[in-house]
Chains A and B, each alone.
Chain A
């Protein structure tokens, strides 16, 4: 298609807007509301142009190109009207930074080393120096505003985690509303009221938390002004560079880019233009990375547990102490726990260390229990997200999608939105739920039976009660079906049986599977290292057959097990009750280069972008030093040596599960004494040994760890209020937890969120009795 823009002949291939065509050909038309990923809006009116043969001034962002069209983007009258419009915008938007008379002088003295006086610049806007509005103002050469100021005088909204909102700076481009709706399909934001009283935000004056926002940050990314600003880097200024990386917080390993300033990570963005890209990251990749890496609680120096308590020791002393202990112990009586978040290189180095230095066969990772091995067997069948999106029907099973797996939940929402039938089986609601055709809350105590019934109903092609029958029909009616599994299944005591039923259903329906993993690099670890079942190693520990534990970034125990010596090597200190003997500070994501692999072995490599803080070293360097101190001279743990350890052919070395790690437990049904069913959830939001909720304050608001969570309806029925202490009693254990009310948990289900590696109350789910904290039942023996 040929057309003329500003007397330039240009050719575009497809139907696009004039604005897109102009941008493609480097013709600048000022605009503020238009966004490449969003449908035309036509709100700011700055991109007005003249089109030959068309009356008035159409907007370039809404008008489509046509053969032979003749467009003029810049005439005196158009520029004058644009100046008028931008002044209208500026009459609502504080503009001291844009058109101050002292602007030039001020810029020259802003970097002054003097403490006070002269001028320090009016730094009241977090987007200062990085603002799209200012670019348009500069282009239109505005140096004064002829209209009086209409300051909105809204209160700055700071009560939600991760980002603040100062709608006094808002220019009503509605990009945030549209990216939330069109791109993220979350529908949290809207334009409320009208005309000069228009406000942006969730309906009914709800906070973002109350509106069940995912905090994906897409709205913050696309905001052209400082109205939406990340709390964490609000005053950090303009990043000096962006470096591509990945997010290590779950198995999706989403692409990110790291914003750097003064050799520090100040934020992470989805790939693409950081001012434009809504991206597919979840809250963790968007907001938690920089907070975790820069956390003040990082382990910065080696510590040794002396008789009187922990003391900082030199690197050499620490290495010497580790070497002495390791030399003194028989390899068979030592165990190595590895984090499922290590890079493949780190895992390979650890494997080298285990086989050549420690001489131990006891390698494990604390998450790898029987349930997970069964889950991984299914996860290996995972299809690509593109295939998932093409399915005629999607069934999610116990998938909690709100703060996890951004690209996965988006693919499900997109598929459901464009016609795929969609069923959610689970105990919680999330932003996918508005797209469901069928929502099933399985009986928590009888999950095993539910899935067995479902599989036999699928086999017979009919039968089952209401929900099951409806699901069987939905699957039968669809041309293809994909089952999206939540790792929560692997956490159930009866996971192997449940997963057997699901596997059977998948087989019967010729369905596809997608099973996400909540750990950064578990497939990479399993491909590099022959890992044993954690139950097996834990049993050895309990039977006192292990003298020394070497923990690399893992968190297998809350309290100290019966061993002689514990070395903990990681970026954060271990739980204090573990009483580890030697703490070695390690580098983490962003500080080390390395490779992450997905379940099928496709790999992503990241570079180190900053130096490890304090005395922290990379894991291979620590291994090298200890090996050296132990006299293993021929081992240097060089990248070359390590890469030799990486497998040529990618395959998961899954341990066998038969007859290992003790007898399988059974979930007993609720009875009159333990009438409630408690689902225990070990937080999936963790990096190495530390839970995000414990290091990122915002995450603690979203995922309140160490709390009992229930629906407000249940709480009202049982006479509990938000924040009340609640005593949970099971057969054998009682413990008090604070109560948190969350709307998105279905009534009748009780969740206990913990970061503990083992469940607090026997089985999962566990029949319990809930009562107001402090009051125990007397008649219980």
Chain B
């Protein structure tokens, strides 16, 4: 291989691609040729780095200088200054906040500093479309070890003692699942990789598949050896075209190298993998629904037991694991279960990837050891909530997770602590909310999602969630009555206890946790008709502060209903009968208008009191 003085790594995760990172790569390559550096500088496209908030991201190695939010026109300057003259360009370097000084090196940035990369170890350092680079970073060595030095029971034992638990949300011990499947009678067994990541705001699986597809393949081949399977399926959302493309490239490459397909590494072991794009139903993330979908049926869950490990795809024993679980496997085999179980807490071992989104400064993907506190993730890695805002709650585990309040911020995260707090690990979504969030509205929002995604098979989920939304809507509209909360709570408990599958069982979590931790907010909505977060439209009104208003008429021009009137240079007036509470005037006054903050949103009650 040719030696290069510098490697420029351009992130090609979906987030950065959406921010035109391919354009940047092209411009970089052109500019490097123009400046005659093509012999010295190598441009590599890599998988997602996680800090998608700051994309597109370019890193220059070996120094590890981190550039963020580049545009194509920044490139000539960057190439001249850094690649040619060796002077990192200060204005493209990451700045945590205005007060702090820029941090040039990636590993010094808070977002990266606190992470522990196991699954994502290869993210951003290798080209996911090149098997050679994967092999260069110890790729497929674990498979070699399994095929040449270990017996299948030893592999199962290794996974068992590593303490790895299913990363899809359930947290079932992976080793035990493998053991059941390995012992299940029958010649035909299947492995399935669950990549039907449906939680809004979650993109762990996509990122792993895009950044390091070979790790998943290697994990599956190891599983196949351990359980005696010869056919595997990767079920990926069809909304992830890049992941599907990279997986297919990876499968072709692995087959060409004899690492997949017939006679793997000359040992006579056969295992082939097929990619199956899902049709976009959230419920297909549930394993039995996913298997039904794979069989070509409508994705609806069925009761368990029998579990898929006994009777799965086409009634054959099937081991179904999440993308992240499979991707953990090669590392465990290579570095040993002892190493793996040294990371994490008593009951939850290893690391977990979270997708950090919502009202947080550093949106992105983070991999942290189990047992880390929420505070560390949100404030040290995520950089906290926006300026002038205060943290209110964090919702973990996707739309059917629970909302965890500030008082539990020091909770060490693992499967069991989250369950105890009323939430779930889920696949690792983490939505941060600040004081501008109305918790009743949040519960309504997430429940609406599950209503739309319910498969309709069982009554509690199909009808119960619908009635829960209806009660929440009633409360948000200011029509809540005493007794609604009790009715809501019992209905939520019934749906939670009696639904057929995980979707229904967890759907009430946002309601139950917000009722538990933010009951006063519900009560304010019902009894005082107040929404202190100023979100529920029926409970707020708009007012122009005459002492602040300069009469610039910006608000008059954006108001879609003509509710704001007033001559230039005089204080304006809001006609509440016309106002549709669209927030346009407020936003324009806050950011663009000469006066700034002259429009106030307040709860109806406040206004009444003043009157």
Spell out A's residues near B (CB within 8 Å): 40-45, 48, 56-57, 59, 62, 64, 80-81, 84-85, 88-89, 91-92, 146-148, 150, 171-172, 174, 190-191, 193-198
Nearest chain A CB to B440 CB, angstrom units: 19
Q: Does B458 contact A (CB under 8 A)?
A: yes
Contact with A194, one of B302, B455, B458 (Cβ below 8 angstroms): B455
Chain A residues contacting B500 (CB-CB under 8 Å) are: 42-43, 45
B463 and A42 form a contact (CB under 8 A): no
Q: Does B497 contact A (CB under 8 A)?
A: yes
Bound: A171/B302 CA distance, A = 18
Q: Can you pick out 29 interface pairs between chain A and chain B where the beta carbons lie within 8 Å of each other?
A: A40-B303, A42-B302, A43-B459, A43-B500, A45-B499, A48-B497, A80-B494, A81-B494, A84-B491, A85-B460, A85-B498, A88-B464, A88-B467, A89-B459, A91-B463, A91-B467, A146-B487, A147-B467, A171-B459, A172-B459, A190-B298, A191-B456, A194-B298, A194-B454, A194-B456, A195-B453, A195-B455, A195-B462, A198-B455
Interface footprint category on B: 20 to 34
Given A84-B490, A195-B452, A196-B451, verify A43-B497 contact (CB < 8 Å): no
- Additional A-B contact list (12), CB under 8 Å, known A45-B460, A85-B459: A42-B303, A43-B457, A43-B459, A48-B497, A57-B497, A88-B460, A91-B467, A172-B457, A191-B298, A195-B462, A196-B454, A198-B462
Chain B residues contacting A147 (CB-CB under 8 Å) are: 467, 470
Chain A residues contacting B466 (CB-CB under 8 Å) are: 150, 196
**B window 481-535: CB within 8 A of A:** 487, 490-491, 493-494, 497-500
A191 and B498 form a contact (CB under 8 A): no
Q: Give the residue among A45, A85, A191 with the most B Cβ atoms within 10 A.
A: A45
Bound: A572/B65 CA distance, A = 98
Nearest chain B CB to A82 CB, angstrom units: 9
Q: Does B221 contact A (CB under 8 A)?
A: no
Interface contacts (Cβ under 8 Å), in number, total 94
Chain A residues contacting B463 (CB-CB under 8 Å) are: 88-89, 91-92, 150, 196
Bound: A9/B46 CA distance, A = 65
Going nearest first, the 9 A-B pairs with the smallest beta carbon separation are A198-B456, A42-B303, A62-B303, A88-B463, A195-B454, A84-B494, A195-B456, A45-B498, A81-B494
B498 and A196 form a contact (CB under 8 A): no
A88 and B459 form a contact (CB under 8 A): yes
Chain B residues contacting A89 (CB-CB under 8 Å) are: 459, 463
**Secondary structure of the B side of the interface?**
helix
Chain A residues contacting B491 (CB-CB under 8 Å) are: 84
Bound: A195/B282 CA distance, A = 11
Task: Output the nearest chain A residue to B471 by Cβ-Cβ distance.
Answer: A147
B303 and A195 form a contact (CB under 8 A): no
Chain A residues contacting B493 (CB-CB under 8 Å) are: 81
Q: Does B353 contact A (CB under 8 A)?
A: no
Chain B residues contacting A64 (CB-CB under 8 Å) are: 305
Nearest chain B CB to A75 CB, angstrom units: 12
A85 and B303 form a contact (CB under 8 A): no
B487 and A196 form a contact (CB under 8 A): no
Chain B residues contacting A88 (CB-CB under 8 Å) are: 459-460, 463-464, 467
Bound: A519/B170 CA distance, A = 61
Chain A residues contacting B490 (CB-CB under 8 Å) are: 80, 84
Chain A residues contacting B460 (CB-CB under 8 Å) are: 45, 85, 88
Q: Does B442 contact A (CB under 8 A)?
A: no
Q: Does B359 contact A (CB under 8 A)?
A: no
A195 and B451 form a contact (CB under 8 A): yes
Bound: A59/B460 CA distance, A = 13
Bound: A545/B458 CA distance, A = 74
Q: Does B49 contact A (CB under 8 A)?
A: no
Task: Output the nearest chain B residue to A58 by Cβ-Cβ distance.
Answer: B303
Contact with A42, one of B451, B458, B494, B497 (Cβ below 8 angstroms): B458
Q: Does B208 contact A (CB under 8 A)?
A: no
Bound: A637/B460 CA distance, A = 66
Nearest chain B CB to A132 CB, angstrom units: 15
Nearest chain B CB to A389 CB, angstrom units: 21
Chain A residues contacting B303 (CB-CB under 8 Å) are: 40-42, 59, 62
Bound: A89/B461 CA distance, A = 11
Bound: A194/B462 CA distance, A = 9
Chain B residues contacting A146 (CB-CB under 8 Å) are: 487
Chain B residues contacting A62 (CB-CB under 8 Å) are: 303
Bound: A194/B465 CA distance, A = 14
**B window 424-465: CB within 8 A of A:** 451-460, 462-464
A45 and B467 form a contact (CB under 8 A): no
Bound: A80/B305 CA distance, A = 26
Bound: A585/B592 CA distance, A = 96
Chain A residues contacting B497 (CB-CB under 8 Å) are: 48, 56-57, 81
Bound: A62/B457 CA distance, A = 15
Chain A residues contacting B283 (CB-CB under 8 Å) are: 194
Given A57-B497, A84-B490, verify A172-B298 contact (CB < 8 Å): no
Chain A residues contacting B498 (CB-CB under 8 Å) are: 45, 48, 57, 81, 85
A44 and B470 form a contact (CB under 8 A): no
Bound: A62/B307 CA distance, A = 12
Q: Does B48 contact A (CB under 8 A)?
A: no
Bound: A57/B458 CA distance, A = 14
Bound: A89/B459 CA distance, A = 7
Q: Does B300 contact A (CB under 8 A)?
A: yes
A194 and B281 form a contact (CB under 8 A): yes
Task: Output the nearest chain A residue to B304 by Cβ-Cβ distance.
Answer: A62
Task: Output the nearest chain A residue to B283 by Cβ-Cβ distance.
Answer: A194
Nearest chain B CB to A53 CB, angstrom units: 15
Chain A residues contacting B455 (CB-CB under 8 Å) are: 194-195, 198
Chain A residues contacting B451 (CB-CB under 8 Å) are: 195-196
A44 and B459 form a contact (CB under 8 A): yes
Nearest chain B CB to A55 CB, angstrom units: 10
Chain B residues contacting A81 (CB-CB under 8 Å) are: 493-494, 497-498
